[in-house]
Amino acid sequence: DTGVSQDPRHKITKRGQNVTFRCDPISEHNRLYWYRQTLGQGPEFLTYFQNEAQLEKSRLLSDRFSAERPKGSFSTLEIQRTEQGDSAMYLCALGRGSYEQYFGPGTRLTVT
């Protein structure tokens, strides 16, 4: 148990639909990260929050992507008008300001 839950674990959607993923920290960590991982590659950084403030966004995070962390607890990642290239595992991780981070099990998105 890493102290992070993600929902849903799997999502299949049709191209053009919107999807939303949720990350729920079980324990308190002021930093929350989102990463994306495609098959055979390591995770890629998307964005991170310190408490409720979104402090950095990767160039990978196009205008179709938006993330929120209201009240500095859970976080949501929304993808609008999904494309086949969005198919990946979306991982949430918690940290306290170090390279030791605790990852959730991820949400696997398949866009058909």
Partner 1 sequence: LAKTTQPISMDSYEGQEVNITCSHNNIATNDYITWYQQFPSQGPRFIIQGYKTKVTNEVASLFIPADRKSSTLSLPRVSLSDTAVYYCLVGDMKMDSSYKLIFGSGTRLLVRP
**Residues in touch with partner 1 (CB under 8 A):** 2, 4, 31, 33, 35, 40-45, 48, 55-56, 91-93, 95, 97-106, 108
Rounded Cα gap, residues 42 and 77, in angstroms: 20
Q: Which is nearer to partner 1, 25 or 104 (CB)?
A: 104
* Residue 57 burial (10 A CB sphere; 0-12, 13-18, 19+): middle
Shortest spacing between CB 95 and partner 1, in angstroms: 6
CB of 92 to partner 1, least distance (A): 8
Spatial CA neighbour of 11 closest among 61, 60, 77: 77
Token pair for 51: 């408490």
The Cα 64–Cα 67 span in angstroms is: 10
The nearer residue to partner 1, 26 or 81, going by C-beta atoms, is 26
Least distance (Å) from partner 1 to the CB of residue 21? 13
**Of residues 14 and 99, the one with the C-beta less far from partner 1:** 99
Phi and psi dihedrals of 8, rounded to 5?
Answer: -80, 175
- Identity of the residue, 22 or 31, whose beta carbon is nearer to partner 1 in the bound complex: 31
